[in-house]
Amino acid sequence: MTIRVRTVVPQDESQWTALFAGYRSFYELPEDRRAVGATWEWIVRGAHGLTGLVATDDDGNLLGIANLRRFARPSTATLGLYLDDLFTAPAARGSGVANALLREASSIAANEGASVVRWITAPDNEAARHVYDDVATATPWVTYDMKPGLRPEV
C-alpha cells in the first residue's frame, strides 16, 4: 500500500469527520458535533491559520489526519507550526501513516521558513511516543491551562 499525504479538500468531510471523532474519543472527549463541525469549517476555510492534512491509501480512503496551525515565537522572532491533532485510523496503525503525516508537516514548516514543528501528547501514549521519538525531541517543558476570566487578587 502506498500512503499519500495531501491537504484536506471539501470532499473529505465525511471520512475526516469520522477520524476526528475517533481522535476525540481516544482522548476521552465527549461527543460534540458542534466542535467537530466548527473545526472542519476552520480547516477547509484556513481560518485561524489552520491547515488540514490527510493520509490516503491507493483508493483514496483516508487513513489519518493532522491538523496544523501557525504560531508566532516572540522569543526567537520566528514562526512555528503547531500540530494540534494527529490521528491514524485503528486499522492503519503501524503502517507508517503517522510518520508520513509528520514528515509532511516538517516539509511544510521548512517551505514556510518555520523554526519548529511542535505538539503535545499524553505521557502514557506510548505507541505514539515511539513514533514521535524517531522524528523529534521530547522537551522538558510542562504545559498549563488556565480558565479565562481569572481576576487578580487584591
Judge whether 118 lies within some domain: yes
Asked whether residue 108 is assigned to any structural domain, the reply reads: yes
Number of domains composing the chain: 1
Residue 65 maps to a domain: yes
pTM: 0.92
Domain that holds residue 116: 4-135
Per residue, the 3-state secondary structure of 82-149, as one string, reads EEEEEEECHHHCCCCHHHHHHHHHHHHHHHHCCCCEECCCCCCCHHHHHHHHHHCCCCCCCCCCCCCC
Q: What is the CATH number of the domain that holds 113?
A: 3.40.630.30
Residue 141 lies in a domain: no
Quick check: is 149 in a domain?
A: no
Q: What is the pLDDT of residues 15-62, one digit of tens each?
A: 999 999 999 998 899 999 999 999 999 999 999 999 999 999 999 999
| Residue 82, φ and ψ in degrees, nearest 5 | -105, 125
| 38 located within any domain | yes
Domain assignment of residue 154, yes or no: no
Instruction: Give dist(CA 109, CA 128) in Å, integer.
Output: 21
Query: What are the tens digits of pLDDT across the range 61-87?
Result: 999 999 999 999 999 999 999 999 999
Residue 102 corresponds to which cell in the numbers above?
509528520
